[in-house]
Structures are given as structure tokens and as C-alpha cells.
Amino acid sequence: MSESEPLAGRVAVVTGGARGMGRSHCELLSERGASIVLCDLDGDVAQEAAAAIVAAGGRAVAAATDVGDRAQCEALVALAVETFGGIDVLVHNAGRLPCGARLEDTDDAVWHALFAVNAHGPMYLTRAALPHLRRSSAPRVIFISSQWGQVGPGHSHAYIASKTAMIGLAKNLALELAPEGILVNAVAPGAVRTRMVPPENEAEEIALIPIGRLGEPRELSYTVAFLASDEAAFVTGQVFAINGGALVVGI
């Protein structure tokens, strides 16, 4: 393992890896030597993202996957093992766009759909991957939650509750799995330049960020790559708030 490729020989599974932050995570983990298994609801875009990694000299495979479906999560784990021989890193990045309705106006289907992706999916996938993580020399599980999983802004109840659930699951799994050497952490992004922040909302979001700009996907990926590396070998059960200082002012 070289300094330029600290993740060489490791296999990373990234959900929602076809676009935005997920694609950025895949690209950086690949640059640092990991083999990538990425999934997305849009299988064509997922295949394109994997092909781009391979064209850049990396190793990657993709699948169309609904992480809210247990059988599809199990199939994704099987793909990783069949293709690359195991799993070392899980990045639970897949997510759905927030719904800004008041609680009494929140549709049941929206609530269940958000929990399916943000809470059920990470549980299904981690559970399916555990036998393989236990065989890894450096097992890592990384949840991509949200700053709204730490502080509720008073709307988007389904989104906030599901992202808070991710943090709770990450902390509980960190305690449960620490004796086995499986490290579990969460990243809580603020406003990042992705589809989650439409152009018409950028000025409103920037006004709440002390640094005065949106985050870039790559800036989140650096934290993900750190948590996947040996440099984070004594880090578990933590939530990394990457938000330009937004929560400092109590958003």
C-alpha cells in the first residue's frame, strides 16, 4: 500500500454513487486505490459512473439498486463479493430529496419512502455485509446523514426524522461492533452544491453559512476517504459536521 493509494486492495460499496456527493465519494476512493461497487436507482447513470472510473484507471462495477428493498441490498453485497472478493467499506450515501410539508400535510407514502431509503436501506445493507466486514482487516461503515439530522429547522419532518435515525443507528452500531474492530461513523453535510440545493435556493442557503458559500462534493469526500483509511483507526461513533460553520450559529 503506497502513500498515494492508501486504500489499495480494499473494496468500497457506495450507495447513491451515480451523481453528486456519491459520485464524488466513488471517484476519490478510487483515486486512493479502492475498488468501487456503486449503485443507484438509475442503472444507466450508475453504469456510466462506473465506466468513467474504469476509464480513469480504476476498478468499478455498478448496479441498479433500490436500497429500500432488502433483497436488492443482499444482491448488491453478492455483486461486491463475486466481483472483488469481499467488502471493506460501506458508504450509505443514497438519499431522497426533502419534503417541506408541515406534519399534518405530510403524506404517509412520502414518510415511508424517505425512511425506506434513509433508514431501512442502511440497516438492510449493513446487516447483509456484516459477515464480509468481519473478514476485512480494516472494516468501515460510513453513514451520510445531514445537518438536519442534528438540528431540526421546523419543517421537512420525514427527511429530518429519517436522517436523525441514521445518526442513531450509526452510534448504536459503533458500540455494538467496536469489539469486533468494525468502525462506524457518520458525516452530516450542510448545504452542498448538488441536486439537493436547487439554484433558486442557493442564496437562501448561503445566507445561513458563515463561510459564505455552498460546500463542494469533493469537500465531503475528503472526510469519507479519511474515515475509510488507516488514519481513522481510532475513530468510531462520531458525527462529522461538514457545513461551513452553519450549526455554530444555531441553525
Residues annotated as catalytic (active site), given as ranges: 159
For residue 90, which phi and psi values (nearest 5 degrees)?
-110, 130
Residues 61/46, Cβ–Cβ less than 8 Å:
no
Distance CA 137, CA 133 (A): 8
With a CB cutoff of 8 Å and minimum separation 6, the contacts of 64 are 39, 40, 41, 42, 43, 46
Q: How many residues does the chain have?
A: 251
